[in-house]
Amino acid sequence: MQKLTKLSYLFLFIAVTAAVIESSFITSHFFYYHYFKPILLIEIISPIIGIILGSFGKSGKRKQIAIILNSLFFFIFFIFSIAKFMDYFIR
């Protein structure tokens, strides 16, 4: 596997890890005040970087899978992240 495709998968893993961390500490007020914005930033930016890196990789199935997975994660969690972010400021 080419280095850019590996980095694309790495950024997908980082974004998924951030989503798991966010969902496990969602009830903690300390988490919301100190770590909520950076976690949302990681969830939004990491798949974008993964898509860009995947698009520059060698052509093949792994490149397509990397782009599709990063895109799916971005579109699904971007909507949820923006909704949570807006809910955070409304409270």
| Residue pair 39/21 in contact by the 8 Å Cβ criterion | yes
Tokens found for residue 11? 């950024």
For every one of its 91 residues, what pLDDT tens digit does the chain have, with 9 covering 90 and above? 678 888 888 888 888 888 887 777 766 666 666 666 777 778 888 888 888 888 888 888 888 888 888 888 888 877 776 777 677 667 6
pTM score > 0.85 for this model?
no
Length of the chain: 91
CB atoms under 10 Å from CB of 66, counted, come to 26
Residue indicated by tokens 């974004």: 15
Cα 12 from Cα 52, distance rounded (Å): 12
